[in-house]
Every structure is written in structure tokens, then in C-alpha cells.
Structure 1
Amino acid sequence: MPRSLVLASSNPGKWREFHAFFQAHAPRWELRPLPTAIEVEESGSTFVENALLKAKAVATALGEWAIADDSGLAVAALGGAPGVHSARYAPDDAARIQRLLREMEGISNRQATFHCAIAVVDPQGQVQALVEGLCHGEILTQPRGEGGFGYDPLFWVPEVGLTFAEMSPTQKEAVSHRGQALRALKEQLLTLERRLG
């Protein structure tokens, strides 16, 4: 009997990536969408803190297991911005991309890192799994590719020679910050399953 787990996000891009992962790698967990909007103030100063805030808020509000991720882009030349404010950098993806391009105008250091923290919390609000993933890349001067979401069209991964938005879902999962965090999560879920019986 699969154990139910609510994804503490209304982002359709995140849902697609998490759902695909759970179907392929964690069949004993049934991932469910957030049934109702739950406002969580992301007041943490790190991705880990915000992932924990979201997972705990949803788990305790619904009395169910919950999983949350907090992820974002840290650009070296901008002092790590947008960082934990990546989703709130501008009203929508297009505006966020335009703002980042404006702020990077004339800057030669294009180094950036995508971060992802994922937390799994039980119905009592206790943390049962916590993982992080990183992906290093560069910020392009113009968007490339039609896939992905968020800053994906600007984030170029040198080893692959593509932006996240140009990669297939399989390619992206292999190198991305979320893909790396999910692979680490797979190990923790297996350990958790053995403990829960």
C-alpha cells in the first residue's frame, strides 16, 4: 500500500519533475498535489530553511506527510542574488529573465549555481528526510530553448553544451540541481521505508 505524500508546491513545472521521479523511483510513495492553497512565508535565509518551512506548514495543516523543495539561482557577480528570492525576483518567468539579463549587462563573470533543498516531513511536523543538490553553470546573454521553466533558458551547463531549456527531461534530470537532490532523496526514502515497515 503506497504511503501518500503531498507536494507542497503549486508550481506545475515542479509537479512534472517530482511526479516523474516518484513514478520511476519511489513506487511505494503516492505523490499528491496540494489540495488547497496554504500560504507559507518563506522567511528563511537559506534554501534548506525555506524547504523545511514549507514542508512543515503543509504537513501540520493537512495532517499528512509532505514534501517541499526550495530552489533557486545564485549568480556570483550579483553576490549570490537572486538566491532564496529567485521566485519573487519579478512577477513571472519572462519578467524574471528580463530582470536578470538587465542586471548582468556588461558583466563578464557569468558563473552561477542552481541550488535545490528537499525536505520530507511527517504529519507531526518531524523532519524525516533532508537533501541538497547543486548544478554549476553560466548565465547566457539571451534565452535559448523552449523547455523547462523559470531561469532554465538562461542557464547554460558547459559539460552538456545546452541550457536547461534545451535539454530533454532525461538530460535535465541527469545534471540538474533538483535531479541530484532527488537521487540523494531516493536513498533516504529507501532507508525511511525500511524503518516504517
Structure 2
Amino acid sequence: MVRERRLVIASGNRGKVQEFEEYLAAFALTLVPKPEYLDIEETGATFLDNAQLKASQVAVALGEWAIADDSGLVVHALGGKPGVYSARYGATDGERIQRLLGELEGQSDRRAEFVCAIAIADPQGHICAQSEGICAGEIIHHPLGEQGFGYDPIFREITSGLTFGQLPPERKSEISHRAKALVQLYPQLMNLPIMAPADATGDGDIP
């Protein structure tokens, strides 16, 4: 009997959940979003701190394997802001974008990076795998494109010359910060107990 390999995505952001589903589609995993009632406060000083915090707390609360990411925009001219506060820079994507563009008004240095840290925790809350990916680009003056979410319409990726809002989802999934973090995570994921084959009798649970 083949057992279900469940992995809880510790996010309520539908855009992130969809990207995880696309990136991990090749693995024999049943991906489920965390329950809406389970809200984890992001108190870490770094993206990796927050990813570990969310993965660990969701895993313990549900008694299941959990994967979490924390990602955001780092803008050179703003001393790294909005950074770990990227999602809290306003109430909506539009408000966050307008605040950022306002803070960059008159700035010639528009360099920025999207950063993504990912962590996986076992049901006891121990961090078993982690990675980080960075995608370099610049902040443009006006939003372009309807794809993606968050700051995507104002972040122009260097190699393509297009904003994440203009890139087709399949192209973004190849070059984004989350894609780069997941590529680093794949070898670690393959070695985790959750990926172990079912035993011959089908008895017991995946540790």
C-alpha cells in the first residue's frame, strides 16, 4: 500500500501556494495549504529566520511535514527596505507599490533584488532543509504587466529585460528567486524521510 506523502505549505498567499504547486509537481507529494486559522507571526530578522519560524510552527501545530518561504524585495537606495517587511508595506499590493515608488522618487539608483528563503520542517518542528535564492533587477517608475502578484509589475529582471508582471508564469518559474531557492532545495528534499519509499508491508507512517 502506497502512503500519501503530505507536505503542508505554510502560507495563505494563493500566489505562493500556486508557485509551490508548480515547482514541486514532479515530486510524489500531496501539497496542502495551511488552515486559514493558523496564523504565524513573522518576527525574524532575516528571510531565513521567518521561513524557519513558519515551517517549524506549522509543522508542530499540525503534526505534519511543512514547507515555508519568506521572500521580499531588497532595494539598494533604501538601505535594503522593504526587506522582511515587504508584505507589510501597505494593506494591498497597490498600496505597497505606490509607497515604494514614492520613497524612490528622485533616486537614480533603482537596483533591487528579490530574495526568497525556504525551509522544511519535520512533524516535530526540526528544520531539515533550507535554501535561499536571489534574483537581481531594478525598480521601474510605473507598473507594467498583469502577471504575478506583489511587487512583480515594478520589478524588471535583468536577463529578460521584462518585469515579473510581464513574464509568462512558465518563464518566471525558471528564473525567479523562488525558483532559484527551490533548485538548491531539490537535492536536500530527495534525502528527507518524507521522500522515503513505502515499506513492503505498507505498515506504519513516514517518520
For the aligned pair, the TM-score class normalised by the smaller chain equals: over 0.9
Partner of 1:52: 52
- Residue 176 of structure 1 aligns with which residue? 176
Q: Note the C-alpha offset of 1:156.
A: 0.2
AA in 2 matched with 1:117: A
Contact 2:73 2:81 in 1 (8 A): yes
Contact 1:173–1:180 at 8 Å: present in 2 too?
Answer: no
Aligned counterparts of 2:98 and 2:69: Cα–Cα separation in 1 = 25
Deviations 1:139-165 (A, max 9, x none): 000000000000000000121010001
Q: Tell me the residue number matched to 2:67.
A: 67
- Hey, what does 1:137 align to over in structure 2? 137
1: CA distance between counterparts of 2:96 and 2:167?
A: 20
Partner Cα distance (1:56, 1:36) in 2: 17
State the AA in 1 paired with 2:6. Answer: S
Match status 1:112 vs 2:112 = yes
- Where do residues 1-197 of structure 1 align in structure 2 (5 Å cutoff)? 1-23=3-25, 25-26=26-27, 28-192=28-192, 196-197=196-197
Q: Distance in 2 between matches of 1:82 and 1:36?
A: 25
Q: CA deviation at 1:194?
A: 8.7
Which TM-score applies when normalising by structure 2? 0.91
1:119-138 C-alpha deviation (Å, 9 max, x unpaired): 00010011111011000000
Greater Cα shift, 167-176 or 113-122: 167-176
User: Per-residue CA shift, 1:70-92, capped at 9, x if unaligned?
Assistant: 00000000000000000001111
> How large is the Cα RMSD of the aligned pairs?
1.3
CA contact (8 A) 1:146 1:153 kept: yes
Q: Distance in 1 between matches of 2:193 and 2:47?
A: 25
Which entry has the higher C-alpha Rg, 1 or 2?
2
Q: Secondary structure at the match of 1:56?
A: helix
Contact preservation (8 Å) 2:189, 2:195: no
Instruction: Write the letter of the residue equivalent to 2:81.
Output: A
What is the CA-CA distance between 1:63 and the residue it aligns to? 0.7
CA distance in structure 2 between the aligned counterparts of 1:170 and 1:193, rounded to whole angstroms: 30
Q: Distance in 2 between matches of 1:98 and 1:159?
A: 25
Q: Which deviates further from its counterpart, 30-39 or 121-130?
A: 30-39
Q: Counterparts of 1:65 and 1:127 in 2: how far apart (Å)?
A: 10
CA contact (8 A) 2:129 2:189 kept: yes
Name the amino acid aligned to 1:32.
Answer: V
1:196 CA drift (Å) = 3.8
Instruction: List gaps (5 residues or longer) in structure 1.
Output: none
Distance 1:43 1:194, change over 3 A: closer
User: Structure 2: which 5+ runs fail to align?
Assistant: 198-207
* In structure 2, C-alpha distance between the alignment counterparts of 1:159 and 1:8, rounded to whole Å: 30
- % identical equivalent positions: 53
Q: What is the number of residues matched between the two proteins?
A: 195
Q: Which has the higher helix share?
A: 1
